[in-house]
Structure 1
Amino acid sequence: MNKILTICALLFFSAAFSQIPTLDVENQKKNSVTLQDVEIETKILGNLATTTATYIFYNSSDRILEGNFTLPLPEGVSISGYALDINGSLREAVPVPKERAKEVFESIEKRNVDPGIIEKVTGNNFRTRIYPITAKGSRMIQITYNQELKNSATDYLYFLSFGNAVNIPKFNLKVLINESLTTPKITENPDGSFAFQKKGNQWVAEINKRNFTPSESLKITIPKVNESSNVLLQKTSDDKFYFATNVSMNIPIKEKTKSQKIAIIWDNSFSGSKRNIQKELDFLNAYFAENKDIAVSFVLLNNILEKTEEFTVSGGNWNVLKDRILNLKYDGGTDFSALKEISQIDEYLLFSDGISNFGDLTLKFKKPVNSITSTPTSDFNLLRLLALQSGGNFINLNELDTQSALKTYKRLPIIFLGFKENNTIQELFPNVGTAVNEPVNLFGISAPNLGKLTAVFSVGNKKFEVPVDFNNATQVDNWPIAQFWAQRKINDLELNSTQNRDEIKNLSEQFGVVSKNTSLIVLEDVNDYVRFGITPPEELLSEYNKIVSQNKRQILEKRKNLLSKAFDVTRELTTWWNSEFKATEKKQYPKISKQSQKLSSEESVVSDNAVYSAERESRSGDKKTSTGKITLVDVESTQEYMKDFQSLQSPELIYQKYLENRPKYEKQVTYYFDVSKLLFRKGDKVLSLKVLSTLAELDLENEELYKTISYLLKQRGNYDKELWITQKILEWRPFDTQSHRDYALALVDNKKPQEALNVYKSMLYQEYTDEISVRDNGIEEILIMEINNILSQNKNVDASKVDDRLKANLPVDIRVVINWNKDNTDIDLWVTDPRGEDCSYSHKSTEIGGRLSNDFTQGFGPEQFLLKKAIKGKYKIKTNFFGERQNILSGPTTIMAEVYLYYSDGRQERKIAVFQSQKENKRENDSKILIGEFEF
């Protein structure tokens, strides 16, 4: 099996996109991947900037690595260019649907060639995956993004953070500013010598350094041209223009009425500890300095909404509330579905990053919500939507100082009402009726010769008009105005991303802007572009078209469904079920005295008469009485930190010790997994769930973490959250059969058998890539058992659309299924019957009728054991870790074993075991892990 080490780094940003990414390999004393070369070039025109950053990473280790790091971008900014070095030169990425990019990447990755993708994950965060970074080798990536500069009354502000910088062997920084009449001012300088010089109509500043560590970030103020608006045009192919204009409104601020009682919703989930709490406290200090006598309902949001507490602020003294906030503990996931209206208040102050990873927002607030964030990794769109829909203000403390934030909170919003003369303007953004900041950037598509127009705004009941002169527009065909426009439209559409999914996808693909629905991908071989039906970049287009025209079928992607194989498997299972299985009679010979010692009851071989007697008893047992028993072994953790909990009995003390020790194990998945299990055993379901939900906070859109969560939710009977988690995984990985199956099983748990049956049906008809069909070969046997179990357990479901060739009555005494949470993993199921015969990947059928499904050596499983009629005695269930992927961030492989008695025959009983692989797990004598027993 190909084993790779995934590097995972989360890059944190201050006021803007940090340009110095780091790749950290955990559990290693010395980082084996270092940043060797950084080149950053920023071009600025008016208040628009395009930045291209090129990085070269060097892998000093002796292993092939996969690069995986996440880049948060400021509000409204998106990736619009990505390139990866292929055979020594940079190759531009092309846009494809997000789930398709992931599917293609993982298919090609298995061949040890060079794909790279960049995708948008939760919030405004962008993840790039690069494979391979060869041992003792380098990889180069290039990222381009467009941004609108922030405004002050007289200047545009450009900021580039070097907050994470370490020593860089080779460093180049270049900034070019067009059309500025006055010298730009550098108010923060990375090395003290960075300075602008006039070259033609540009101001240019550049530094080249060796072994350089920036001492400061870069901050530039660019004086505005003394006009109320500046218009930039980019010509389209049909004699129209994309335009961008910055409009200074000079509208007097009108403040809203002060509230008498507010509610503060404080997100104290685990990720809340990453917020800039001091900035939020500074804002509240300023707020209560102006709202000196006010009642406050205070409520905490994590994976639940906690009980509301009441505070009274008098004379601006809010010390009691402040102390409550300062002493908060941050833990748990974030569940916006838990939000509820708080009665008898005038408005809300919501402090959160807006990333809900344990449930979807369903509440529409009746009172204004002022959403406040101080985290660069926030979901800005969701927070802005909350404010917009409720009549509140969105306050981004990443970009606003305390007094500016307070002004934003206090004022009535400025609403853009469009242009008075709007006959020839199309696709105008922001949308008419949207709240805007002052000054505002307007983007749209227009006919030529618009002349002088009038933009209209309102504050409260009063309207304001501002002239916009298109006669003085500047045509800049070498400037990506169209991409800025597309980015604005996508941002707007993503406020309702599910409803606007298709339009977002079309825009993203047309303009090359990364969105929730579209990623950018780079492939190494032109044949891969042909095979997967992806139009390549310009450099490969001629060769691509030539191959397509020649219709070389041998390299076209193969896709197939599971249906025809499922028909065959149903017939095979029916034949097996109708077969008679009898153990071969064994002759017994006299033993000499030295060998006459007795075997233990677990090791003894049941006599042939006992076998046949038990078989007759079982086969005659048509009466619905249960004679079997399931006993599961709790596979205990052997981690060193568990010793700290040994002497603690109460859940409260265990939880306090967990919080106390957490800084040492903050990124260690097993820590949350083990403590959650311990708390559950101690009987505290609430604290157990809080600790478990924290796993969702460790990474963005990580299916391996979510699968771990879903397994424990299923085991504990928390089926509604299991359904939500599996639905999320399905959204991220619709190309995986296992994602569909997990979701269908969650629907069954939630007593929605009809919906589950529909998912199973679509799963069999859906077409999968050849790689996944091969990887998941044999899953049809598991699906057929589960489809027919739904039919046998739910007589009222409509099975008319299920092909009769898939239907079979297949009740069994024993069924065991194991699943695991990682791709590229091989875990084996072993079942030993009372006669001592093993059923395993190398011996798939036993004399008494035991049957094992296909051996899954690459994917997520599952593997299944069936026994139609059990004989008396004990059956041991074991697993063996043959090979597992080394993904440090998501921890060791998590296994879920579903163990059934009397599956599909009316007496069905299920128990579930969930555990993680550890080298120190207590093993049986044969090195396998014992997870349970049947006794008949």
Structure 2
Amino acid sequence: MKNSSITLLFILLFFFNNLFASFSAPQSITIYWDSSLSLKNRDIEKELQFLDSFFKLYSNSEVKLITFNTSKVSEDLYTISSSNWDLLYKKINNIIYDGASDFSLVDIGGKEDLLLFFTDGKSNLGNIDKKLYTPRIITISSVKDVNKRLLHETAYYNNGYYIDLLSSDVKQAVQSIYDNKVLSKLQFVNSNESNENYISGIVEDEAGLLGNVDIEIKNKNIKTITDVNGVYHIKANPADTLMYSYTNKKTVILTSGNAKVINVKLQEKSNKLDTVFIMSEKKDTEVEKVIIGDRIVEKRSLGYAVQNISDQNISPDEVKLGEALAGKFSGVVMGNNNDSSQMIIRGFSSIQGSNHPLFIIDGVPISRNSGLSAQNKSRMDFVDPSNIADITVLKGLAATNRYGSLGSNGVVIVTTKTYLSNYEKSNRKEEKKKKIKYNRYNGALEFQFKKKSIFIEVLENYNNVDMAYEHFISFMGSNTKNIMYFLDSASYFFDKKDFEKGIQVLSNLVELYPNDTSVLRVLAFNLEKYSLLEYAEKIYKRILHISPNDTQNYLDLANNYYNNKKYQKSVDLFNKMSNNKIKDIHTFNGLNSQINNDFKNLLSNRNQTWNLKNVNKSNFLLPKYKLRVVTEWSHPQTEFEIQYINPEKHFFTLSHTKESNKNALNTEMKEGFLSDEYVLSDLKSGKWFLNLIVPEKQVPNTKYPRYLKIEVYTEFGFSNQKKQTHLINLDTVDGTKIFASFDIK
């Protein structure tokens, strides 16, 4: 009996010892901390509260903290014992926020028990690589502007949980993690999927369309979110109760009934929940199309806010354009007396000057006058409403990227019946027939070296790059609207061979201007300047995602693939352009010559590993030119002239100005390209110079500096072909600039 008692005691001690060990065994935890610029204003107090509550439950843990932006900034190990995480707390409180985020640095294939990912879900440079076996991933955000779909799905598909600290109780959120609470699966409707039993609609607030709104069916594991245009689709039965929620907004609860389209407007948050019944019949409609410039496209494929009306919405008694527009577009306020300067699409842009949008009539921009007085009105009598076939209003930065700063107040595109009747049969291809006229060049053929900017001079006053970087960080907040602050500061770090800091400094531009294609193109040009082709590729892809209807973006990406030796990708994209097989593009007419020459130049380097079975054999014949000059500009409507000076000091001029080449500039805007090429086969032998001329009226713009990327090929198509690349900020050119010389044999 005694032996049995002793045996039982040992068994109990062994059991409780193992039980205690299981509770006290340290957890293995990895924390990825996004330290990119967009998270500079994160709610750090909320995040620290979360971690404090977290470590009260996970009191004994081995923690790896990895901070990252464009690169892995730091990796530190901490032992949390008895909920003491003071050292980790201190480290997090001293993190510097700078640069863009690259999610490809987040390794989710480790062996840790938990992975905590603190981020806004916005990666501008790379995506998370999916792995077959992953730890449980918890995604946490503390800012309002987030990629909620990515955060939710990353957690859901890795057996984790997503916590929005702005709308969650911290202790409950931590308890949900500890209790292994299951997330609802987000539901998204494929465009090819049947619409049966699906409800669609938009969600907005007082300011307009609202993205990232949570829509959940009560008591069911079904959930979705609105896209950037406030649009949603969710599968629901007539008896289901839908809940619409958003940070700091009053939650709306409604019963769907038999409605197929439900539009909801959210109000500012109050202490009670409203129950609302919103029902509408779903109409059977064909795929809606709109006219954008010179193209007819599916409205749903645009990816930005578009409203349009047809001639059916214009009554015969509306004899002025202002009358045809009035009351037919949400968020559009008409002026008085047919005055377009008082028309507002997106809110006042100027207190004393003109606020009206850019008008495009049959693809041609209409000049506008400023002023609100009766004596200086901007009238809208430039088109007869009875001849209007379609009016389209573009809103948002993504929609106006093609028109640059001209579209800053929105864009009104009017297509006339006269123009539309000739749309399909018109041939807009313009052959360039330039008659060369030489003049005597009397200036000095001397290169002008770029003066150091004030930003570089200040950084050079410091003893080392670390001190210079601290200065850059301390003054970054007051220079977020000065693009040159980032470009010049980055050049300092590149010149000092600190490429990591240079990349971080440059990448801030994609954080600050994630949807501005002009700024992004300047960024891509500068990344190419420092041979950072992988990063440039990511930026060109982003530009293409923002503006898939602009032809230039496909050519830029194809050439980036070629320069980065991704030959097969380059071949495939060039082949699609050559055969006009890009679904979002109606024509590549304006770029055909460049595409053909670049494609043939690429194919001249082919080898047996390339798949060329679908390439037309005519593309294997490379033309030969003594000189080929390709010029690309960062902003639409950029004006400049280039003088070609021969060995006898005679020159001819090629102009890209509104005064001398208005039709060409209008064609560029219609087709969405920002480059041109000039080729010559017969040139005088000797040394040639290229001189850049900037119009006197051009005013420097620190927010939108205008850049030219000029590629000069000599002996193009010959075995001794050479190429120079020049990147020039037009704002730094004082009238003229000799920027290149080359020898013609």
Using a 3 Å threshold, how does the CA distance of structure 1 residues 355 and 552 change in structure 2: closer, same or farther? closer
Equivalent in 666, 673, 686 of residue 480 of structure 2: 666
After superposition, residues 271-310 of structure 1 pair within 5 angstroms as 271-310=38-77
Report what 2:19 is aligned to.
Answer: none
Aligned equivalents of 1:889 and 1:359: distance in 2? 28
The answer as to 2:307 corresponding to 1:522 is: yes
Report what 1:703 is aligned to.
Answer: 517
Report what 2:704 is aligned to.
Answer: 891
Aligned equivalents of 1:902 and 1:799: distance in 2? 26
How much does 1:539 deviate? 6.8
Report what 1:166 is aligned to.
Answer: none
> Which piece of structure 1 moves more, 753-762 or 326-335?
753-762
Contact 1:899 1:912 in 2 (8 A): yes
Using a 3 Å threshold, how does the CA distance of structure 1 residues 745 and 410 change in structure 2: closer, same or farther? same
Secondary structure at 1:404 match in 2: helix
Secondary structure at 2:72 match in 1: coil
Secondary structure at 1:907 match in 2: coil
Using a 3 Å threshold, how does the CA distance of structure 1 residues 557 and 523 change in structure 2: closer, same or farther? farther
Q: Which amino acid is the alignment partner of residue 301 of structure 1?
A: F
Report what 1:682 is aligned to.
Answer: 496
Aligned equivalents of 1:829 and 1:873: distance in 2? 19
How much does 1:881 deviate? 3.3
Aligned equivalents of 1:475 and 1:811: distance in 2? 68
Equivalent in 776, 779, 783 of residue 591 of structure 2: 779
Report what 2:606 is aligned to.
Answer: 794
The answer as to 2:456 corresponding to 1:642 is: yes
Aligned equivalents of 1:837 and 1:480: distance in 2? 72
Contact 1:561 1:764 in 2 (8 A): no
Using a 3 Å threshold, how does the CA distance of structure 1 residues 257 and 338 change in structure 2: closer, same or farther? same
After superposition, residues 734-883 of structure 1 pair within 5 angstroms as 734-766=548-580, 778-794=590-606, 808-841=621-654, 856=665, 859=669, 861-868=674-681, 873-882=686-695
How much does 1:295 deviate? 1.1
Report what 2:28 is aligned to.
Answer: 261
Report what 1:394 is aligned to.
Answer: 162
Aligned equivalents of 2:574 and 2:423: distance in 1? 18
Contact 1:827 1:856 in 2 (8 A): no
Contact 2:438 2:650 in 1 (8 A): no
Q: Which amino acid is the alignment partner of residue 527 of structure 2?
A: L
The answer as to 2:411 corresponding to 1:411 is: no
Aligned equivalents of 1:685 and 1:891: distance in 2? 24
Using a 3 Å threshold, how does the CA distance of structure 1 residues 856 and 881 change in structure 2: closer, same or farther? farther
The answer as to 2:507 corresponding to 1:693 is: yes
Secondary structure at 1:790 match in 2: helix
Aligned equivalents of 1:393 and 1:370: distance in 2? 5
How much does 1:768 deviate? 11
After superposition, residues 500-519 of structure 1 pair within 5 angstroms as 518-519=303-304
Report what 1:372 is aligned to.
Answer: 140
Contact 1:262 1:296 in 2 (8 A): yes
How much does 1:332 deviate? 0.9
Equivalent in 87, 90, 111 of residue 320 of structure 1: 87
Contact 1:259 1:347 in 2 (8 A): no
Report what 2:367 is aligned to.
Answer: none
How much does 1:835 deviate? 2.0
> Which piece of structure 1 moves more, 736-745 or 831-840?
831-840
Equivalent in 530, 541, 545 of residue 716 of structure 1: 530
How much does 1:681 deviate? 1.7
**Structure 2: runs of 5 or more not aligned:** 1-22, 187-195, 200-214, 225-232, 242-253, 266-285, 291-298, 316-324, 330-384, 391-414
1:256-291 Cα shifts (integer Å, max 9, x gaps): 999611011000011121211121112112222332
After superposition, residues 388-537 of structure 1 pair within 5 angstroms as 388-414=156-182, 426-427=197-198, 434=221, 444-446=235-237, 482-483=262-263, 518-523=303-308, 526=311
Q: Which amino acid is the alignment partner of residue 783 of structure 1?
A: I
Between the two proteins, what is the percent identity of the paired residues?
20
Report what 1:556 is aligned to.
Answer: 420
Aligned equivalents of 1:754 and 1:641: distance in 2? 41
Aligned equivalents of 1:527 and 1:833: distance in 2? 59
How much does 1:318 deviate? 1.5
The two structures, once aligned, show a CA RMSD in angstroms of 5.0
Using a 3 Å threshold, how does the CA distance of structure 1 residues 408 and 843 change in structure 2: closer, same or farther? closer
Secondary structure at 2:654 match in 1: coil
1:363-389 Cα shifts (integer Å, max 9, x gaps): 346111100000100111100111001
Using a 3 Å threshold, how does the CA distance of structure 1 residues 528 and 766 change in structure 2: closer, same or farther? farther
Contact 1:825 1:885 in 2 (8 A): no
Using a 3 Å threshold, how does the CA distance of structure 1 residues 265 and 904 change in structure 2: closer, same or farther? same
Using a 3 Å threshold, how does the CA distance of structure 1 residues 880 and 525 change in structure 2: closer, same or farther? farther
How much does 1:840 deviate? 2.0
Aligned equivalents of 2:493 and 2:180: distance in 1? 48
Using a 3 Å threshold, how does the CA distance of structure 1 residues 767 and 829 change in structure 2: closer, same or farther? farther
Secondary structure at 2:45 match in 1: helix
How much does 1:519 deviate? 4.0
Using a 3 Å threshold, how does the CA distance of structure 1 residues 812 and 387 change in structure 2: closer, same or farther? same
Q: Which amino acid is the alignment partner of residue 649 of structure 2?
A: G
Aligned equivalents of 2:148 and 2:458: distance in 1? 40
Secondary structure at 1:709 match in 2: helix
Using a 3 Å threshold, how does the CA distance of structure 1 residues 366 and 917 change in structure 2: closer, same or farther? same
Using a 3 Å threshold, how does the CA distance of structure 1 residues 334 and 843 change in structure 2: closer, same or farther? closer
How much does 1:888 deviate? 6.6
Report what 1:929 is aligned to.
Answer: 737
Aligned equivalents of 1:928 and 1:317: distance in 2? 65
Q: Which amino acid is the alignment partner of residue 372 of structure 1?
A: I
Contact 1:267 1:300 in 2 (8 A): yes
Contact 1:900 1:910 in 2 (8 A): yes
Aligned equivalents of 2:534 and 2:314: distance in 1? 41
How much does 1:443 deviate? 6.6
How much does 1:802 deviate? 5.4
Secondary structure at 1:840 match in 2: strand
How much does 1:814 deviate? 3.6
Q: Which amino acid is the alignment partner of residue 271 of structure 1?
A: S
How much does 1:884 deviate? 9.5
Contact 2:140 2:165 in 1 (8 A): yes
Aligned equivalents of 2:25 and 2:221: distance in 1? 23
Using a 3 Å threshold, how does the CA distance of structure 1 residues 917 and 417 change in structure 2: closer, same or farther? closer
After superposition, residues 132-281 of structure 1 pair within 5 angstroms as 260-281=27-48
Report what 1:128 is aligned to.
Answer: none
Higher strand share: 1
Aligned equivalents of 2:303 and 2:386: distance in 1? 22
Q: Which amino acid is the alignment partner of residue 894 of structure 1?
A: Y
Q: Which amino acid is the alignment partner of residue 635 of structure 2?
A: K
Using a 3 Å threshold, how does the CA distance of structure 1 residues 794 and 416 change in structure 2: closer, same or farther? closer
Using a 3 Å threshold, how does the CA distance of structure 1 residues 342 and 305 change in structure 2: closer, same or farther? farther
Q: How many correspondences in the alignment?
A: 550
Aligned equivalents of 1:893 and 1:417: distance in 2? 46
Report what 2:544 is aligned to.
Answer: 730
Q: Which amino acid is the alignment partner of residue 623 of structure 2?
A: L
How much does 1:737 deviate? 1.6
Using a 3 Å threshold, how does the CA distance of structure 1 residues 304 and 298 change in structure 2: closer, same or farther? same
1:412-443 Cα shifts (integer Å, max 9, x gaps): 2246799xxxxxx9459969995879xxxx97
Report what 2:273 is aligned to.
Answer: none
Q: Which amino acid is the alignment partner of residue 718 of structure 1?
A: L
The answer as to 2:520 corresponding to 1:656 is: no
Using a 3 Å threshold, how does the CA distance of structure 1 residues 311 and 910 change in structure 2: closer, same or farther? farther
Report what 2:717 is aligned to.
Answer: 904
